Amino acid sequence: MAVNDRRQSQRQAVESRRRAERTPFRKVRRLRERIQALGVEMDLVRPEEVMLQVQAAIQADEPFCVANYNLHAVYLAHTDPDFSAFCDMADLIEVDSAPLIFFTRLLGLQARTFHRCTYLDWREHFWSLADRQGWKIYYLGGAPGVADQAAQRLKATYARVTLRTRNGYFDATPGSKDNAAILADIADFAPQVLFVGMGMPRQEAWLRHHIPQLPACVTFNVGGAFDYEAGVQATAPRWTGRLGVEWLYRLLHNPRRLFARYCIEPWSLVPYAMKDLFTAVKAGRLFRWPSSSAPRRG
């Protein structure tokens, strides 16, 4: 008991220090404040702002869908109808790509204070909140046993969180028996947060078709998040994300799977990039950062 109390005190001290060190952020955001780049819309939010909106949705007992864009996701938004429809229905779209952040800065659409925002950027803040609030979290995805392993590791640190998991090996076809059983299980559990981690674009297609049948909760598409939590997949050093070279780190570690994603797909986005650059030059905002930290519409 003494050991657990000491660990809890240490976690609270660390969280208090982090809260004190966090850069101030806006606590109220205008509805659907977004920019446009590469032919899609996205929200320039910081991790603290994402958590603020998640808390508000949970307190109001309202559904809230969080999506994210990296360059692969932008490619899918232009080529996959289900993926595009999912992004259209999302309440918030994070930018999970340092190169995409740099490009929006080049276009003069945002100030320097904004940075990439994804699960690995806000995970500690999220789980600390979930622990303090006693949230119920459902995770759908991963190989058999992986999510359970991740849940055990998370529960060892965040004891007040209630977790339920289901692996991603099932028939995801709308109307299938597997889907009916999963939806019934989610409804029975009634989570505040639902993580779906089945890889792009399968997880987005599943959410696009089944969000209307879910209980009111916050939904995230999180890819291999619980693979990281279970320790079966190593995370790239966080400095690689800040420098915009995390993609290179991943490519070097898994070239066969990621070569097309990182070396071929981005070329299809060149026409959208050229159009954005032409618009920025015409508007006189290329290389010009807004004076305010608030994002501007494109």
What mean pLDDT is predicted for residues 212-223? 96
**39, 78 in Cβ contact below 8 A?**
yes
Residue 223 lies in a domain: yes
Answer yes or no: is pLDDT of 1 > 80.
no
User: Is residue 148 assigned to a domain?
Assistant: yes
In a domain, 173, yes or no: yes
CA–CA separation, 151 and 170 (whole Å): 20
pLDDT bucket at 25, cuts 50 / 70 / 90: very low
| pLDDT above 70: residue 143 | yes
Question: Model pTM?
Answer: 0.84
Does residue 280 form part of some domain?
Answer: no
Q: Is residue 274 part of a domain?
A: no
Residue with tokens 């981005």: 266
Query: What per-residue confidence (pLDDT) applies to 10?
Result: 57
Short-list 79, 109, 76, 115, CA closest to 95: 115
Cis amide bond preceding 201, omega within 30:
yes
Pairwise pLDDT comparison (162 vs 258), residue with the higher score: 162
CB 87 within 8 A of CB 40: yes
The answer as to whether 281 is a domain residue is no
Write out the residue range of the structural domain in which residue 171 sits.
43-230+237-267
pLDDT tier at 34, thresholds 50, 70, 90: confident
Tokens 């089945």 belong to residue: 198
C-alpha separations of 127 from 119, 132, 283 in Å: 11, 9, 42
Residue 35 located in a structural domain? no
- Say how many C-beta atoms besides its own lie within 10 A of residue 154's C-beta: 21
- Name the domain count of the chain: 1
Under the banding of pLDDT at 50, 70 and 90, the label for residue 163 is very high
Residue burial 275-297, b: 16+ Cβ < 10 Å; e: rest? ebeeebeeeebeeeeeeebebbe
Q: Are 164 and 251 in contact (CB under 8 A)?
A: no
- What confidence score (pLDDT) does residue 211 get? 96
Q: What angle do CA 281, 282, 283 make, to 5 degrees?
A: 90
**pLDDT of 134:** 97
